[in-house]
A and B are shown apart, each in its own frame.
Chain A
Amino acid sequence: MKQTAEGTAVEARRLTKVFGGPGSEVRALDDVSLTIAKNRFFTLLGPSGCGKTTLLRLIAGFEQPTEGEVLLDGVDIARDPPYRRPVNTVFQSYALFPHMSVAENVGFGLEMNRKPAREIALEVERMLALVRLEGMGGRRPEQLSGGQQQRVALARALANHPKVLLLDEPLSALDLKLRKDMQIELKRLQHETGVTFIFVTHDQHEALTMSDAIAVMDHGKVLQVGTPAEIYETPVNRFVADFIGETNLLPASLTGRTGDEIRFRLDSGKEISGREHGGHDTGARVTLAVRPERAELATGPGGNGLPGTIDRVVYFGTDTQFRVRLKDCDTVFLVRRQNRSGHEASLSEGQEVTVSIPPEALRVLQD
């Protein structure tokens, strides 16, 4: 059912949004440019207050940009009122109309678009079936559980066949189990309807597992756009590396290169080598990043290794985290290891080990 129509659904061009007057200015969005392809599950990810909601509200039309353009299907809509934009929103609070039945809620957009009553009734049925709420049309929103209200909000938005569906942290109010179910449900809905989803979350795990593409935001800026794997494996800067998953950050300087081997000296004096230089020259100060699951632990001296002592062992079920205090510098290095049989007993707290880093696991970051 997923259409293969290519092209751009939404484009933000140099979007800036400033709240408040002179003296109390808040730059909620700062010169954001972004292209969102059709039929994607696109996620805006960033810490609270980074401007995610503001960007959604600019696309929906609840706010006017201070500067810049919002293009929908190539047309600038930044000055259109929200009721003229073929875009619908699932609000964080769901915002179901409490004085209307579930069916009236779902049919509201169609009614406003002056569709005939019969058509509305059919579409409402179809939508309630799509979100698995058959037969609930006569209820009031307050008679539904949180998860069901969430589904009504989805049905209400999707009933209008929008070009883009905006979802502002729709899962944050749900408990963990329901949340996992809804994550799968949202993916299914996106797949079945072929509507472009723009999904907001501050949960990096959610973003990684659900998205076709992610934009990482901080302080009103988009720092990086890419697939989950790109964002995770090749973060462009320190913030992205730190925000997405666990990362070990090591301040170092670039000391030289031979062939495709790049050498760095850590502040502890230790030398390690990597494969990339991040565009820096010899002598430059850099930050190195290593994902915990990419490093290995050896009991003897290991290749490309940093000696240290195991500080703490934390068992996580599928894997185990080792906190290693590196020798000669006050840095804790995290290593994660899959819990396969044969591994368990070999390492314990207080033991001297070498953290061995494969050269291709070493990332060079901009600050």
Chain B
Amino acid sequence: MAKVVTIGRHAERLRRFPGVGVTTAFFFAYLYLPIVIVIALSFNENRIVTVWTGFTLDWYPQVLANTDLIRAARNSVIVAVTASLIATVAGVTAALGLRYFRPRPAEETGTTALIATPLLVPEIVTAVATLIFFVAVGFRLGLMTVIIAHTVFCIPFAYLPIRARLQGLDPALRDAAFDLYADEWRAFRRVTLPLLWPGILAGALLAFIVSLDNFVITFFVAGPGATTLPVYIFSMIRMGITPEVNVASALLLMVSLGIVTLSLLLLKRRA
């Protein structure tokens, strides 16, 4: 109670600080205005996207009738689902293994750093390296190579939230399960997994979204017929920004938002 009061007082003082309101408004505009514009323009009647002439829904059926785009979207979903699932399983096993089967915490920290380091490697470097690798071992570029590459870069995104959640769990909970006659498997099933669930969902979601909108690596390793939605949108844009590009972007955004909302609802219902 006292804490709430102090935070409230701090917030009040901050709000009265000159310029805070304007800066905040500017910040959010900067963040969201471009996205809002893309969505708005997807309803623009005029073929020249920068000239607003009126509202229409006509572009949507036109885009959804574009089989190339639909195929690209399907590829994106296949890749994102497969890669995020595999990466999440890897993330869960890595987090559990490092937490419960390493005697020294320093090893856990070191390995976590090693798992997270690829996040710092410039994506273009990873893309080139992955392409060289596939060519060197003689993999034919296709959807499979995209899935493999995505799985790899999704792993740290899936792992980190899962690990954070696991670190936040009282280790006595697992001991309590053992103490109450649950073996390793049942302690995991009945205690660790349900409590880890929000972290797993967050990790899977993050991996899914990162995979869904990946461009650079996909662009390098996607073979013919393995085009994903971002790569397809890029190829469309080379012929100029058309209403179809805006519609495709808006659709991609809605899918992402839909998934985030769904998972938040799921989490809330569990809690």
Q: Smallest distance from the beta carbon of B99 to chain A beta carbons, Å?
A: 15
Q: Given contacts A93-B170, A98-B195, is CB(A112)–CB(B182) below 8 Å? A: yes
The stretch of A80-88, A253-261, A309-317, A328-336 in contact with B is A80-88
Q: Given contacts A81-B183, A83-B183, is CB(A93)–CB(B195) below 8 Å? A: no
Q: Quick check: is B142 within 8 A (CB to CB) of the other chain? A: no
Find out whether the CB atom of A95 lies under 8 angstroms from the CB atom of B195: no
Q: Quick check: is A263 within 8 A (CB to CB) of the other chain? A: no
CA distance A122 to B92 in the complex (A): 37
Find out whether the CB atom of A91 lies under 8 angstroms from the CB atom of B182: no
Find out whether the CB atom of B178 lies under 8 angstroms from the CB atom of A83: yes
15 residue pairs from A and B, CB less than 8 Å apart: A61-B178, A62-B178, A62-B179, A83-B181, A83-B187, A87-B179, A95-B175, A97-B176, A97-B177, A97-B195, A98-B195, A109-B179, A109-B181, A156-B180, A157-B179
Find out whether the CB atom of A62 lies under 8 angstroms from the CB atom of B180: no
Q: Smallest distance from the beta carbon of B116 to chain A beta carbons, Å?
A: 26
CA distance A93 to B179 in the complex (A): 14
Find out whether the CB atom of A91 lies under 8 angstroms from the CB atom of B175: yes
Q: Which chain A residues lie closer than 8 Å to B175 at the CB level?
A: 60, 62, 82, 89, 91, 95
Q: Which chain A residues lie closer than 8 Å to B181 at the CB level?
A: 83-84, 109, 112-113, 160
CA distance A91 to B171 in the complex (A): 11
CA distance A128 to B182 in the complex (A): 22
Q: Which of chain A's residues 143-170 have a Cβ closer than 8 Å to chain B?
A: 156-157, 160
Question: Chain B at the A interface: mostly helix, strand, loop or mixed?
Answer: helix
Given contacts A60-B175, A83-B181, A93-B172, 10 further A-B contacts (CB under 8 A): A60-B179, A62-B175, A83-B183, A84-B181, A91-B172, A92-B172, A95-B176, A96-B176, A99-B195, A160-B180
Q: Quick check: is B191 within 8 A (CB to CB) of the other chain? A: yes
CA distance A112 to B190 in the complex (A): 10
Residue interface mask B186-227, A partner, CB < 8 A = 1: 110011001100000000000000000000000000000000
Q: Quick check: is B173 within 8 A (CB to CB) of the other chain? A: yes
Q: Which of chain A's residues 37-94 have a Cβ closer than 8 Å to chain B?
A: 60-62, 81-84, 87-89, 91-93
Q: Which chain A residues lie closer than 8 Å to B187 at the CB level?
A: 83
Closest to B195 in A: A99
Q: Which chain B residues lie closer than 8 Å to A112 at the CB level?
A: 180-182, 186
Closest to A82 in B: B178
Number of interface residues of A (CB under 8 A): 26
CA distance A157 to B175 in the complex (A): 13
Where the two chains meet, the residues of B that have a C-beta atom closer than 8 Å to any C-beta of A are 104, 170, 172-173, 175-183, 186-187, 190-191, 194-195
Q: Smallest distance from the beta carbon of B190 to chain A beta carbons, Å?
A: 8
Q: Quick check: is A108 within 8 A (CB to CB) of the other chain? A: yes
Q: Smallest distance from the beta carbon of B263 to chain A beta carbons, Å?
A: 18
Find out whether the CB atom of B178 lies under 8 angstroms from the CB atom of A88: no
Q: Which of chain A's residues 95-111 have a Cβ closer than 8 Å to chain B?
A: 95-99, 108-109
Closest to B175 in A: A62
Q: Which chain B residues lie closer than 8 Å to A109 at the CB level?
A: 179-181
Q: Which chain A residues lie closer than 8 Å to B195 at the CB level?
A: 97-99
CA distance A98 to B190 in the complex (A): 12
Find out whether the CB atom of A89 lies under 8 angstroms from the CB atom of B183: no
Closest to B271 in A: A99
Q: Smallest distance from the beta carbon of A105 to chain B beta carbons, Å?
A: 9
Find out whether the CB atom of A97 lies under 8 angstroms from the CB atom of B191: yes
Find out whether the CB atom of A108 lies under 8 angstroms from the CB atom of B194: no
Q: Which chain A residues lie closer than 8 Å to B182 at the CB level?
A: 83, 108, 112
Q: Which chain B residues lie closer than 8 Å to A89 at the CB level?
A: 175-176, 179
Q: Which chain A residues lie closer than 8 Å to B191 at the CB level?
A: 97
**Most chain B beta-carbon neighbours within 10 Å: one of A83, A96, A160:** A83
CA distance A149 to B95 in the complex (A): 30
